[in-house]
Amino acid sequence: MNLISKAAEVLLQEQLQDWDLAKDNYAALAEVKTKDFSFGDFTIRVQFNPARIQSSAAKVDTKSIQERKCFLCPQNLPEEQKNIPFNQEYEVLVNPYPIFPKHFTIPTYTHTDQLVLHRFSDMLDLTQTFDGYVIFYNGPKCGASAPDHAHFQAGSKGFLPLEKDMKTIRKEILSVEENLNVYTLKDYLRNGFLIESKDKNKAVGYFEKLYSKIEIKEGEKEPMLNILSWYEEGSWFTCIFPREKHRPSCYFAEGEDNILISPGSVDLGGVFITPVEKDFNKINKDDIIAILKEICISDKKFNEIIEKLKSIEL
């Protein structure tokens, strides 16, 4: 474990002693309920985590964002919330509403939009530095509760089924060169790409190609996507999931049809977060399939991206 990872561990322990909000919510993790659904080659876990209502129900429309203080800007942080710096541009904060046993938010010091294209290299640096963690990115309309402030998150390795799945599920090779393999994920309920690389620059280069082939919807600044990355045995592993929708129709439904779920990277990583107990109790495999089909990119659009990428290779 390197110095920054050690400092983050120390920060977490200090915050759990000195900050009641963090202490109470981390203690509550021991009581969260979970249930697993098998889909053959992989499993999706559902977690009942009431503290996450802050994120799942967050108002992220332009008017609401403009009317509230940004909770990631240094001047607006609670007095109890401490930080450690990373690369001068970012600060590492304990996430007081955890999903993982160890959960950090890593925002920029400056207030700037949540856009990943020119920060993907930073993401891989974080992934290598925090080698005991998965680093993830939620796009502005893909689970980010602070779409107006650039940030990543870090969660304990070994928590998301995705990490194991990438070793066991069927993948199709898309591109191969020295120190870089790119795969498509087609039979995984969510269409996506896996970039595996021992060369950071090659991983960044391929990500930029992929990014350029994903549709940017009208009025948006970047493609809708979620990204999860981890570092293992000298290689970066990065999953990119293009998105079609921000929230599924069940989020807005009334009565019994309502399920308050706002999927982000953690959900696409195989852990569905339900902050309301009735939703946890009733959600089933069909709901999971329907939600993923609705929010993730369609087979047709996915195959179009693949064909565009293949044409670059020729």
DSSP 8-state symbol, 22: H
- Is pTM beyond 0.85? Reply is yes
The whole-angstrom separation of Cα 172 and Cα 310 is 13
pLDDT digits (tens, 9 = 90+) for 267-291: 999 999 998 999 999 999 999 999 9
Residue 63: per-residue pLDDT: 62
Lowest-confidence segment of 35-39, 51-55, 66-70 by average pLDDT: 51-55
> Residue with structure tokens 């019994």?
256
The whole-angstrom separation of Cα 217 and Cα 219 is 6
> Residue with structure tokens 């293949």?
310
The domains of the chain, with CATH numbers, are 3-313 (3.30.428.70)
Is the distance from CB of 170 to CB of 185 less than 8 angstroms? no
Mean per-residue pLDDT, 298-310:
95
Residue 123: per-residue pLDDT: 98
Lowest-confidence segment of 25-29, 89-93, 144-148 by average pLDDT: 144-148
The whole-angstrom separation of Cα 111 and Cα 252 is 30
pLDDT digits (tens, 9 = 90+) for 112-125: 999 999 999 999 99
Is the distance from CB of 37 to CB of 46 less than 8 angstroms? yes
The whole-angstrom separation of Cα 188 and Cα 256 is 28
The whole-angstrom separation of Cα 9 and Cα 1 is 10
> Residue with structure tokens 């080659």?
41
End-to-end CA distance of the chain: 42
87: left (phi over 0), alpha (psi -120 to 50) or beta: left
Q: Please state, for a pLDDT cut of 70, what percent of the chain lies above it.
A: 94
Q: Hey, how many other C-beta atoms are within 10 angstroms of the C-beta on 8?
A: 25
Residue 311: per-residue pLDDT: 84
Tell me the helix, strand and coil percentages in the chain, rounded to 5.
Answer: 40, 25, 35
DSSP output for 118-169 = GGHHHHHHHHHHSTTEEEEEE-TTTT-S-TTS-EEEEEETTSSHHHHHHHHS
pLDDT digits (tens, 9 = 90+) for 179-233: 999 999 989 999 999 999 999 999 999 999 999 999 999 889 999 999 999 999 9
Is the distance from CB of 105 to CB of 161 less than 8 angstroms? no
In this predicted structure, the answer to whether residue 56 has a pLDDT above a threshold of 50 is no
pLDDT digits (tens, 9 = 90+) for 228-249: 999 999 999 999 999 999 999 9
User: For the chain, what is the mean pLDDT?
Assistant: 92
Residue 64: per-residue pLDDT: 62
Q: Please state, for a pLDDT cut of 90, what percent of the chain lies above it.
A: 83
pLDDT digits (tens, 9 = 90+) for 139-164: 998 987 888 999 999 999 999 999 99
Report the side by side order of strands in the sheet with 180-185.
Answer: 83-86, 90-94, 103-107, 151-156, 133-138, 225-232, 235-242, 192-197, 180-185, 172-177
> Which of helix, strand or coil describes residue 94?
strand
What pLDDT band is residue 312 in, cutting at 50, 70 and 90? confident
Residue 47: per-residue pLDDT: 93
> Residue with structure tokens 């802050």?
54
Q: Hey, how many other C-beta atoms are within 10 angstroms of the C-beta on 141?
A: 17
305: left (phi over 0), alpha (psi -120 to 50) or beta: alpha
